Amino acid sequence: MRTLISGLRRSDLTHGIVQISLDLKTMDDALRMAEIAVKAGADWLEIGTPLVLAEGAHAVRTLRAEYPDHPLVADLKIMDGGYGEARMYAEAGADAVVVMGRAHDATVQRVCEAGAEFGILVMGDDMGADDRVAEAKRLQELGVGMVIHHIGHDHRGMHRELNLSPLTDLPGIVEATTVPVQAVGGLSIEQAVSCPTIGAGVVVFGAPLAIDDETSFTIPERDLPRILKDAIDRVHATPVRR
């Protein structure tokens, strides 16, 4: 039976769960990575933005047929046309979609309307916000079911001297919200595993932990099953901080 996550509450997360981001450009590579991830114990699969751009809703339909019981997250980074985009991917089989906090309030609200109508989780991404705690509170007030605290790849790359990390503001965001929180953007495996201890119970593994530039695996493919299983097992064993 398909696992629904639209009504996920922070209190449901007693221990960490793992989302694997398929940040790849072809379905063949995505299916290879998904197989490795699921065998290693991954809970959710994410159709990463590169895969969304390359394959669109076809990627969701293909993964839904292959993994009927796994929640699928479509990282659409919605900025406008919120209802229509969310509906399109919900009808393709997605269980969650991502809307950007930089979008107008109306767009976030329209995505949330679609989420309620079609039974999908709406994840609000705070990337680019000047005040990340205030942005997380705003996204929750607008109706999102999860806050993604995100330091962007380009921004981190352009300001390496600042050692930017989502862990810096994560405790404040967890304290200021009641919905589940996720932290992404440059985390090492060790840092990602630690997120449930801060209160962010949905842990993401993806680029650049296992995938490089959306075209290849940074960890030798023969080693991925062992490395991912170890990391996933550790997340599953970690209680989520209340």
The per-residue pLDDT for 129 is: 97
Taken in order of first residue, the domains within the chain and their CATH numbers are 10-236 (3.20.20.70)
Nearest 5 degrees, angle CA 52-CA 101-CA 124? 65
Report how far residue 119's alpha carbon sits from residue 94's, in angstroms, rounded to the nearest whole number.
10
Report how far residue 232's alpha carbon sits from residue 216's, in angstroms, rounded to the nearest whole number.
21
- Residue 222 CB coordination number (10 Å): 8
Peptide linkage before 239 cis (omega within 30 of 0):
no
* Predicted structure pTM score: 0.94
pLDDT tens-digit readout, 202-230: 999 985 454 444 444 556 677 889 989 99
pLDDT tens-digit readout, 65-114: 999 999 999 999 999 999 999 999 999 999 999 999 999 999 999 999 99
What mean pLDDT comes out for the span 121-138?
98
pLDDT tens-digit readout, 144-203: 999 999 999 899 889 999 888 999 999 999 999 999 999 999 888 899 999 999 999 999
- Residue 192 CB coordination number (10 Å): 24
What mean pLDDT comes out for the span 24-39?
94
The per-residue pLDDT for 1 is: 54
Quick one: which of 181, 217, 136, 167 has its CA closest to 8? 181
Quick one: which of 234, 169, 242, 193 has its CA closest to 13? 242
Task: Give the CA dihedral 215, 216, 218, 220, nearest 10 degrees.
Answer: 170
Query: Could you tell me the sign of the dihedral formed by the alpha carbons of 135, 46, 1, 111, in that order?
Result: positive
The per-residue pLDDT for 213 is: 47
The per-residue pLDDT for 164 is: 87
